[in-house]
C-alpha cells in the first residue's frame, strides 16, 4: 500500500510515532514430449485407386501439474508484502513478510512450502497495480517456481473516491502482468491474493484513539477520513471504496482463472476478519507480525490444496 499514504505523511507520521513512544497466479505450451504423432501409414489400395493419406495434428501436451511444494518464491506487491510498519514506524520489515519472511513466528509461504527457503521479495511499499509489470520483469530474471501477488490497496486508498483506479484500468494492468509472466515463465506458478477488506480495517482501527490521530495525517483518506463519522456521506464513501476493492478482487480472480498455473485465493484474505491484535501499533492499519502470519497461513493453504479455491469474491 503506498504505504497507503503520501510522502507528506512520512514527515508528519514520524512526529506522531514519537508521541506514541512517549505515551506508550496460462501454463505455457510445454515442449512436445515426442513431437507430432502422424499416422503416416497407407492401407493397401485397390488397383487404380489413389493411396489414402491420413494425418493427425500433434496432440496438445498436458499442462504442467500444480506443485504444492515449489522450490523458490518471488513476491510482488506493496507495503503489506514488505511488512511496512510491522516492526518499527515508517520502515519496511521484510523479515515478517507473509510471502518471504524469515521469522519463525510468521512461518511465511516460503518457509512453509519450500525446502530451501530460496526467495526474492520484489514488492515495493506504495506500489499501485500499474507498477506490477516492472516487478514482474524483475521476477523473471530469477526464474522462480512460484510468484505471489498481493496488490491493489493503494489503488483504492486515495485522497477521495473519484481518484481511485478504475476497475477497467486495474484489470488491464493486472492482465498484462499475468500475460507477461506466463509468456516469459511458462512453467512458473502464480498465487494471487485478494485485497483485504479496508472497511474491516477501519472498523477495527478506529477504536484506538491514537490510531485515529495518525489517520488524520493522511493515511488512506478515501476510507479512513472522518473515522468516527456515521453520516450518510461518510458511510457512502466507505461503501464505494469497499465496492471498488471487491471489483478489483473479482477482476483478479477472473484473469487468474484463464491460466492453469494461476491460483486465486477465492476472496479468503478479503474475508479474513482482522482484529486489533493483527494490526500495527504504529498506524493501526497495516498488518503486524501476527497479521502477516495469518496471511501466510491462509495463502499457503491455497497453494497446498489439490484443486483451486472456489471464488467467493
151 within 8 A of 170, measured Cβ to Cβ: no
C-alpha cell at 176: 498484462
Per-residue pLDDT, 98: 98
pTM reported for the whole predicted model? 0.81
**Average pLDDT for the chain:** 86
Q: How remote is the C-alpha of 310 from its chain's centroid?
A: 17
Q: How far apart are CA 308 and CA 313, in angstroms?
A: 14
Asked: is 7-26+66-304 a CATH 3.40.50.1110 domain? The reply is yes
For 202-241, write each residue's pLDDT tens digit. Answer: 999 999 999 999 999 999 999 999 999 999 999 999 999 9
Per-residue pLDDT, 59: 67
Domain ranges of the chain: 7-26+66-304
Per-residue pLDDT, 307: 81
- Write the DSSP assignment of 161-183 as a string of letters: GGGSPPHHHHHHHHHHHHHHHHH
**Residue 36, class by beta-carbon neighbours within 10 Å (0-12 exposed, 13-18 middle, 19+ buried)?**
exposed
255 within 8 A of 171, measured Cβ to Cβ: yes
Low pLDDT (below 50) residues in the chain: 5-55
C-alpha cell at 248: 478489483
DSSP assignment, residue 24?
-
For 18-70, write each residue's pLDDT tens digit. Answer: 434 334 433 343 333 333 333 333 334 444 444 444 445 666 666 679 999 99
Per-residue pLDDT, 258: 97
Residues 6+ apart with CB under 8 A from 309: 263, 264, 265, 266, 268, 302
Residues 6+ apart with CB under 8 A from 99: 73, 75, 77, 81, 108, 109, 110, 119, 121, 123, 148, 150, 296, 299
C-alpha cell at 219: 493515511
Amino acid at each position: 500500500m503506498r504505504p497507503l499514504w503520501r510522502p507528506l505523511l512520512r514527515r508528519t507520521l514520524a512526529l506522531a510515532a514519537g508521541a506514541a513512544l512517549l505515551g506508550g497466479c496460462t501454463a505455457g505450451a510445454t515442449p512436445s514430449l515426442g513431437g507430432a504423432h502422424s499416422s503416416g501409414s497407407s492401407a493397401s489400395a485397390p488397383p487404380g485407386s489413389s493411396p489414402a493419406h491420413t494425418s493427425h495434428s500433434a496432440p496438445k501436451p498436458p499442462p504442467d501439474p500444480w506443485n504444492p511444494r515449489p522450490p523458490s518464491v518471488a513476491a510482488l506487491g506493496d507495503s503489506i508484502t514488505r511488512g511496512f510498519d510491522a516492526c518499527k514506524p515508517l520502515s519496511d520489515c521484510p523479515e515478517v513478510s507473509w510471502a518471504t519472511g524469515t521469522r519463525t513466528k510468521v512461518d511465511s509461504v516460503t518457509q512453509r512450502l519450500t525446502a530451501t527457503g530460496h526467495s526474492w521479495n520484489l514488492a515495493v511499499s506504495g506500489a499501485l497495480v500499474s507498477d506490477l509489470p516492472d516487478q514482474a520483469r524483475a521476477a523473471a530474471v530469477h526464474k522462480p517456481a512460484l510468484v505471489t501477488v498481493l496488490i491493489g490497496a493503494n489503488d483504492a486508498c486515495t485522497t477521495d473516491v473519484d481518484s481511485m483506479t478504475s476497475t477497467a484500468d486495474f484489470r488491464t494492468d493486472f492482465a498484462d502482468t499475468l500475460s507477461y509472466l506466463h509468456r516469459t515463465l511458462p512453467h512458473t506458478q502464480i498465487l494471487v491474493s485478494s485485497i483485504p477488506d479496508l472497511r474491516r480495517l477501519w472498523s477495527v482501527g478506529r477504536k484506538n484513539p491514537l490510531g485515529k490521530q495518525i489517520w488524520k495525517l493522511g493515511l488512506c483518506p478515501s476510507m479512513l477520513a472522518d473515522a468516527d463519522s456515521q453520516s450518510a456521506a461518510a458511510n457512502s464513501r466507505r461503501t464505494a471504496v469497499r465496492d471498488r476493492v471487491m471489483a478489483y478482487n473479482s477482476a483478479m480472480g477472473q484473469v487468474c482463472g484463464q491460466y492453469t498455473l494461476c491460483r486465486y485465493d477465492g476472496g479468503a484474505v478479503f474475508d479474513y476478519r482482522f482484529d486489533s491484535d493483527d494490526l500495527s501499533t504504529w498506524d493501526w492499519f497495516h498488518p503486524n507480525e501476527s497479521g502477516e502470519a495469518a496471511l501466510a497461513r491462509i495463502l499457503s493453504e491455497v497453494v497446498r490444496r489439490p484443486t483451486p479455491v472456489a471464488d467467493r469474491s
